[in-house]
Amino acid sequence: MRYAFVHTYKPVLDDARYRSFDTMAEYRAWCERELPRWLGYGQDL
């Protein structure tokens, strides 16, 4: 396999078929508020 990418389930993040945000700040705030910290999408673990 060339340049392989592997997909594993990410709670919450993978639970919607589509999301959009007017600004990156809104997206970052959503990640902080909604995603499990261990996914690493927030500022701190």
- Would you tell me which residues interact with another protein (CB under 8 A)? 1-10, 14, 16-24, 26-28, 31, 37, 39-45
Q: Which is nearer to another protein, 7 or 33 (CB)?
A: 7
17 or 33: CB nearest another protein:
17
Q: Tokens at residue 31, please?
A: 């990640």
12-39: buried (b, 16+ CB within 10 Å) or exposed (e) per residue?
Answer: eeeeeeeeeeeeeeeeeeebeeebeeee
- Which DSSP helix (H) or strand (E) runs through 34? helix 24-34
**Closest separation between CB of residue 22 and another protein, Å?**
6
Nearest approach, Cβ of residue 27 and another protein (Å): 4
